[in-house]
Amino acid sequence: MEPDRWLGLDLRHLIALKTIADTGSFGRAADRLGYTQSAISQQIAALERVVGLKLIDRPGGPRPISLTEAGQILLRHAEAIEARLHAAKADMEALSAGEAGRLRVGTFQSAGARILPVLLRRFSEAHPQVEISLQESSDEDDLLEMVERGELDVTFNTLPVSSGPFETVELLSDPYVLVVPAGSPLAAATRAPSLKEITLQPLIGFSRCRAMDAVESQLTSSGRAPNIVFRSDNNGTVQGLVGAGVGVSVAPLLTVEADDPSVVVVDLAGRIAPRVIGLAWHRDRHRSPAADAFVETAIAVCSELSAASAAA
Amino acid sequence: MEPDRWLGLDLRHLIALKTIADTGSFGRAADRLGYTQSAISQQIAALERVVGLKLIDRPGGPRPISLTEAGQILLRHAEAIEARLHAAKADMEALSAGEAGRLRVGTFQSAGARILPVLLRRFSEAHPQVEISLQESSDEDDLLEMVERGELDVTFNTLPVSSGPFETVELLSDPYVLVVPAGSPLAAATRAPSLKEITLQPLIGFSRCRAMDAVESQLTSSGRAPNIVFRSDNNGTVQGLVGAGVGVSVAPLLTVEADDPSVVVVDLAGRIAPRVIGLAWHRDRHRSPAADAFVETAIAVCSELSAASAAA
DNA sequence: AGCCAACGATCAGGTTCCATGATCGAAGCC
DNA sequence: GGCTTCGATCATGGAACCTGATCGTTGGCT
């Protein structure tokens, strides 16, 4: 049996290829990786011998290098192998931490505000030895990238998630409502405002994210782009500006403080598709018993939250 | 920036882990890989230092070794990384072959008999420089494994395919029919026989495969297991035995030689779900222009076959 | 044309790690 | 106790990675 030279391939050579592609030069890749340019040159030469193809065009002199087609194709594989290695590393670290280990959870504000308090209390009662660490971002795709790099074990996200090595479970549907200042003509209306009517108002929006883009896309399909006058990451800020009369807001129901007398919440009667909140984790990773339990608890909590809001 | 010791991980060490798991001992893994037992011992020790966990329990003396939980989890990652490397290797080899290269296609008999002649003629007229190499198997999952290992570029298969890193496209629906001996009472019946009636007959079956299992499962759901008296890989054999009066056969329409006067083809009126034939390829692999063209041509050919059989 | 800068390739040599072959330690069996 | 089976460890040679110096190519400027 002849040894397969591919098995002798050095993972560091794949990382060198990736860093060259990223930085655009052998020298800058060497700086970033803490090698000399000579080492990088030799690594790529070794990789080319394994692969049997030229991976990088070197025109000579000060002209910039470029990846060949083979180089570009191999780069995709290199990135996937690196990601898989991150997943393996994350699994080993989680196992090292053991049953009393940490569960690293990603969250964004509106999911955090309503689901997490109940969920964390319920979960911690059942698993007091498990430490939860939370990472918040206003960008769901940021959280997914962290899951992919093994930096988070599980994250809240809006579904469907961006494509990638993820598995998800749906937790709840969160309908969009129109938040208007108390005393606004829209507050007294007896029917849901049309999308076009909403676009005629100054709009207080949330920071750009996949869910927000979907809302704005739906508003735009009414024939007029929404007039966003302000964006914030912060639920309270958005609602405060509405109450102060600066504008109205299309907001997920979960983000709205219902007791606030300065605003009125107007049902949109399904004119905007509801936001679906779920949990996502890395498809390739081993699921620890703690992660399993966290997901199960989240499903139960949100089922109760949904039932409670259907009864109200 | 501290170098990540995971990047120094040697792929051969992952393969050692996999082979130990497979063979159940360091010594046999060494034999299989062409190393000494000492090398294997040191490879696993090095891997355990990288990972930070014990991967294999060595009870000592002649007692068998076993993988720890960490070992089992890492094994899954090792297998995925190896598969990805195979995909990369296959892509590089395909690129080496260039535009005039080979396209390795997997097929099974019934797809082969009816689709391939037209398809190959059409494709070769349009791409005379591309050499097609065919690999036939009666087991669709066998073909999928070869796609996964990079040994095939694309394969015919019944959909949906087994889970794995595949992408598929649907080509056509192939209804199951009952093939009975000419002169059989079932040949003269004016309505489609029930599944139970079919299970009362001696049945000539095809070799076990996912599609065949699905048929047998549907027959069994009528309350009685099918009475399989003979199995064959070969369409002609099956039909010959039916014509000789040995039994009847539930066969995909595409496999049936319609001109044979010794048998009668009975429509089953949808009592058995039709077999869906498609093409599958490796999700992680680069798709060559030749592979793209082959898929497009297959779609066109099968669209015409379906239209022709709807008109007949 | 000569000089300089930017860039990657190659060389010589030191260090690290992989693999072999021999030996040791553990455990079961007769 | 002796033998067998099995993996660990040791000593050593060879291969490959990495550094630092030098070489070759190219473009731009004077």
Q: Are residues A130 and A72 in the same domain?
A: no
Q: Are residues B158 and B285 in the same domain?
A: yes
Please provide the DSSP assignment of A238-277 as one string.
HHHHHHTTS-BEEEEGGG--TT-TTEEEEE-TTSSPPEEE
> Which chain B residues are Cβ-neighbours of A10 within 8 angstroms?
10
What are the structure tokens assigned to B73, written together? 């989890």
Percent of chain B whose pLDDT exceeds 70: 97
Q: What average pLDDT does the segment B79-99 reach?
A: 89
- Reported as a single tens digit per residue, the pLDDT across B164-212 is 889 999 999 989 999 999 888 888 878 888 888 899 899 998 888 888 8
Measured CA A54 to C1' C8 distance, in angstroms: 15
Q: Are residues B36 and B19 in the same domain?
A: yes
Q: Are residues A19 and A167 in the same domain?
A: no
Nucleotide nearest A12 (Cα, C1'): D17
Residue A93 belongs to a domain: no
Please provide the average confidence, as pLDDT, over all residues in chain B. Answer: 89
What is the least distance, in Å, from the CA of B222 to any CA of chain A?
A: 35
Please provide the average confidence, as pLDDT, over all residues in chain A. Answer: 89
Q: Which bases in strand C are touched by protein, i.e. have an atom under 7 Å from a CB?
A: 5-12, 17-23, 25-28
Q: What average pLDDT does the segment B253-282 reach?
A: 89
What residues make up the domain containing B35?
5-88
- Reported as a single tens digit per residue, the pLDDT across A10-66 is 999 999 999 999 999 999 999 999 999 999 999 999 999 999 999 999 998 889 999
The Cα–Cα gap between B14 and B77 comes to 9
Residue B93 belongs to a domain: no
Q: Are residues B83 and B123 in the same domain?
A: no
Residue B154 belongs to a domain: yes
How many Å from the N-terminal Cα to the C-terminal Cα in chain A? Answer: 71
Q: What average pLDDT does the segment A71-80 reach?
A: 95
Percent of chain A whose pLDDT exceeds 90: 51
Q: Do A96 and B53 touch (CB under 8 A)?
A: yes
A237 touches strand C (CB under 7 A): no
- Reported as a single tens digit per residue, the pLDDT across B43-88 is 999 999 999 999 999 998 889 999 999 999 999 999 999 999 999 9
Measured CA A93 to C1' D5 distance, in angstroms: 35
Residue B76 belongs to a domain: yes
Domain boundary among B35, B55, B88: B88
Give every CB contact of residue A139 below 8 A, 6+ residues apart in sequence: A108, A207, A209
What is the least distance, in Å, from the CA of A53 to any CA of chain B?
A: 7
- Reported as a single tens digit per residue, the pLDDT across B117-161 is 889 999 999 988 888 999 988 888 999 999 988 889 999 999 999
**DSSP E strands, B198-262:** 202-206, 227-232, 249-252
Q: Are residues A153 and A75 in the same domain?
A: no
Q: Are residues A83 and A102 in the same domain?
A: no
The CATH number covering residue B59 comes to 1.10.10.10
Q: Do B96 and A284 touch (CB under 8 A)?
A: no
Q: Do A73 and B12 touch (CB under 8 A)?
A: no
Q: Are residues B166 and B202 in the same domain?
A: no
What are the structure tokens assigned to A154, written together? 């599980």
What is the least distance, in Å, from the CA of A99 to any CA of chain B?
A: 13
Residue of A nearest to B95 (CA): A70
The CATH number covering residue B228 comes to 3.40.190.10
Instruction: Quickly state the pLDDT bin for B1 (edges 50, 70, 90).
Output: very low
Q: Are residues B161 and B182 in the same domain?
A: no
Q: Are residues A211 and A180 in the same domain?
A: yes
Q: Are residues B148 and B292 in the same domain?
A: yes
Interface A-B, measured as beta-carbon pairs within 8 A, has a size of 94
Looking at the 3D structure of chain A, how many domains does it have? 3
Give pLDDT, residue A310: 67
Over 50: is that where the pLDDT of A179 sits?
yes
Please report, for chain A, how many H helices and E strands are present, in that order: 12, 12
Give pLDDT, residue A207: 83
The ipTM is 0.80
Q: Are residues B287 and B201 in the same domain?
A: no
Domain boundary among B88, B115, B143: B88
